[in-house]
Amino acid sequence: MRAVAGRGGTLEDRRMRGGPLRKTLRGRAGGGALEDRPIRGGPLRGTVRTPAGRGRALSATAVLLAGLLVVLAVQDADAQGSRRAYDFGQEVVPAYEGWEQNPDGSFNLVFGTMNRNWEEELHIPVGPDNNIEPGGPDQGQPTWFLPRRNRFLFRIRVPADFGAKELVWTLTSHGETKRAYGTLKPDYYMDDNVRMANNGAGVSGELFKNVAPTLEIRGESTRTVKANTPVTLTAVAHDEDELPRRRGMRPVDPGRPTSLTPIAATGLRLSWFVYRGAVPVTFDPVQTKVWEDTRANSNSPWGAGWETPDPPPDNEWVVQATFTEPGTYVLRCIAHDGGLATYEDVTFVVTE
């Protein structure tokens, strides 16, 4: 059990691990609300190879027991009325998703975020309040934080001999300092099956063959534009294998059991969003949400009743972006099939 919150050492992160299907309960310091329950999914049984090459058999029974403990804990917290939701004023928590091994023996440490707010988007510039060490403070992390859970946002490549070292991502917002610890511990091993389960596609024999969509951004990767002048963004994406098969989100059904992993619509979709910048950017048309908004009618693949739109002609998405203030921004384009995603970043230097 690892529990750290800032330099004061307050215990507030309680991790329950059961192999690739890992559950996390995060509560506010001092016995606050259990309001965020990121859940890692994956095959119930398999073998994980550690950096040292040792195999580890994952028990389906242990996984299911861990899931049951989480459900019971959540039910107990809800029954006591301690769960609360916030639109504004809460902190952003960095999340360590896990590690991947590259063909050359190096590793990728993968990070995401949990913004505890349902509405507020925060700007946290790289520096004392947003840094990754050692080697930072800037290691490609976002500076614009969308609401709620945003998984698998960026990777940091580390050498094959990284061993027992760790990278620490520190975020401070609304007076709260939170940290995520990137390590090569076996419980954090991840592959495409883990990624698909956590993105909401599920895991099945058919999905084992899934590959991520292709994505091409038309134009330069760094551009200079003027504030308050719409900029045309053109992207071409294809889902060659057409997996996962297209599936919409069902309407709300209070009688349906709650899944231990996220559920989302599947089928090729594409969105632009702000990855780095100091203020919001306006997109026309409005973009499908890339964060896990589970509310109905929320323009979100995780929301009840949402259907994946048909691709545009020639699979070419054309969007207008308007920057209202000068500065340097990074816009990210993500092509997603509901299980796996491909993204590209474009940097904009905005002048008056």
Contact present, 124 and 145 (Cβ < 8 Å): yes
For the segment 37-63, the average pLDDT, to the nearest whole number, is 37
For the segment 232-248, the average pLDDT, to the nearest whole number, is 97
Between 58 and 176, the more confident residue is 176
Q: Which amino acid is at 30?
A: G
Q: Assess whether pLDDT exceeds 70 at residue 149.
A: yes
Q: How do residues 89-134 score in pLDDT, each as one tens digit?
A: 999 999 999 999 999 999 999 999 999 999 999 999 999 999 999 9
Between 260 and 298, the more confident residue is 298
Least confident of 60-64, 82-86, 101-105, 181-185: 60-64
Nearest partner of 145 among 110, 86, 93, judged by Cα? 93
Task: State the pLDDT at residue 84.
Answer: 61
Beta strands in 188-312 (DSSP E): 214-218, 222-226, 231-238, 269-276, 281-284
Q: Which residues contact 24 (CB under 8 A, 6 or more apart)?
A: 13, 14, 15, 16, 37, 38, 39, 40
Q: Assess whether pLDDT exceeds 70 at residue 226.
A: yes
Between 74 and 134, the more confident residue is 134
Question: Of all residues in the chain, what percent carry a pLDDT higher than 90?
Answer: 71
Between 172 and 51, the more confident residue is 172
Q: What is the pTM of this model?
A: 0.78
Contact present, 201 and 268 (Cβ < 8 Å): no
Contact present, 92 and 171 (Cβ < 8 Å): yes
Task: State the pLDDT at residue 305.
Answer: 94
CB count in 10 Å sphere of residue 56: 13
Question: Of all residues in the chain, what percent carry a pLDDT higher than 70?
Answer: 76
Q: What is the DSSP letter of 314?
A: G
